[in-house]
Amino acid sequence: MKKEYPIIIGKGLKKGIMGFLDRDRQANVSIVYLKKQYESGEEFDLNDIEKIQAVLHFCDRESIQNTINILKTLMKSMPGDKE
């Protein structure tokens, strides 16, 4: 049986998050492993990607908005700087 592990996102992990529209104009967000370490928020190029870990495919704007709302709610609940 294959074990499924959580996808870890955070500083210092040689990972990046990339968003793009596919040819059908639907949104995709990819979690990728990078060939080298980047500063948080720094842009990277397609050539910098070692492999793709996961892809979130959004079929409509409502699904994107629901995901944004969930992340904003989580961020407000976490300790640290409040925006």
Give the pairing type, strands 15-21 and 49-58: unpaired
- List for the chain the helix, strand, coil content (%; round to 5): 25, 30, 45
Q: Is a pLDDT exceeding 80 seen at residue 2?
A: no
Q: How far is CA 74 from CA 65, 67, 71, 77, 82, in A?
A: 14, 11, 5, 5, 12
Tokens of 30: 């990819």
pLDDT-based confidence at 81, cuts 50/70/90? low
Q: What pLDDT, in 10s, does the model give residues 3-28?
A: 788 888 888 889 999 999 999 999 99
